[in-house]
């Protein structure tokens, strides 16, 4: 059987972690197929990255567009296969559950969960989920978050979607063992990426009783952004994980070991007490 293909599909490459991953995969000689929602973004990235980058214009929530992209890559990679899938596309918007519109919750699960599953299903045959696959099976890297293990207030839609990604990834890994396809969870902590600055406008909640505690939350976000890893570093780590011969099931890439390693292991009631004490989310 031929060696694993040096081709990668990354969703959401316009900015952030997806952009950093695309840059470093290309630097290692991979052909990168990157999903963008706007043709203009794809053209700009093509001009920047050169011949090893090919944009695919689709929204992960658009089933027809995802299916068309899979059909195109099946023809484009005829006689070969896809070496890896990095499910990165995602959204994050903050707010208290009591006042957050249901459309925001639906968007989180449509993009972060259903979209991820939809893309995975469409490209599984190219990754090796078929009896006659001509090359070694590819790998799936699902980009979760530290919040796939640590639930914080005012990000419940995002947290819920990332917990779902983690559970889905564990089930998928056990199913795809049949074909030798590895499924790896990547759980970044604080990252200097536009997803947070775009998703933490809390002005709509100023008149709610939660707003004083939300000031604490916003300060935590600002501190995390200042201390977070660059998308360049995350991209480099993602490539290294993909190339690891025996990868771990989950990688926590966190600048703050207290949040990323210790808190998930503390008793839940203790974490509740800590959060309530430092945030003011506690009935006096």
158: annotated active-site residue = yes
Q: Of the residues 30, 158, 205, 251, which is catalytic?
A: 158
Choose among 180, 69, 44, 183: nearest CA to 119.
69
Angle between helix 16-27 and helix 39-49 axes, rounded to 10 deg: 30
Name, in order, each residue with C-beta under 8 angstroms of 71's C-beta and a sequence gap of 6 or more. none
Cα angle 24-34-142, degrees, rounded to a multiple of 5? 75
Instruction: Count CB neighbours of 92 within 10 A.
Output: 21
Q: Which two tokens stand for residue 220?
A: 């935590």
Catalytic residues: 158
């Amino acid at each position: 059987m031929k060696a694993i293909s040096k081709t990668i599909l990354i969703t959401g490459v316009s900015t952030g972690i997806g952009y950093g991953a695309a840059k470093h995969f290309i630097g290692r000689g991979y052909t990168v197929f990157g999903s963008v929602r706007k043709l203009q973004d794809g053209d700009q990235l093509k001009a920047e990255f050169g011949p090893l980058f090919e944009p695919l214009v689709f929204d992960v929530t658009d089933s027809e567009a995802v299916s068309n992209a899979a059909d195109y890559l099946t023809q484009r990679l005829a006689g070969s296969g896809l070496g890896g899938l990095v499910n990165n596309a995602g959204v994050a918007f903050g707010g208290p559950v009591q006042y957050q519109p249901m459309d925001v919750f639906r968007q989180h699960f449509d993009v972060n969960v259903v979209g991820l599953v939809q893309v995975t299903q469409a490209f599984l045959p190219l990754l090796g989920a078929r009896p006659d696959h001509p090359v070694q099976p590819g790998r799936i890297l699902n980009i979760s978050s530290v919040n796939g293990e640590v639930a914080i207030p005012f990000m419940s839609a995002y947290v819920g979607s990332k917990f779902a990604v983690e559970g889905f990834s564990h089930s998928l890994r056990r199913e795809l063992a049949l074909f030798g396809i590895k499924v790896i969870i990547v759980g970044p902590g604080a990252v200097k990426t536009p997803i947070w600055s775009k998703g933490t406008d809390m002005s709509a909640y100023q008149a709610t009783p939660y707003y004083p505690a939300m000031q604490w939350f916003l300060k935590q976000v600002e501190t995390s952004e200042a201390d977070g890893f660059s998308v360049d570093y995350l991209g480099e780590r993602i490539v290294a994980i993909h190339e690891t011969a025996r990868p771990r099931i989950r990688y926590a890439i966190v600048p703050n070991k207290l949040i990323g390693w210790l808190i998930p292991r503390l008793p839940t009631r203790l974490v509740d007490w800590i959060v309530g004490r430092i945030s003011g989310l506690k009935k006096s």
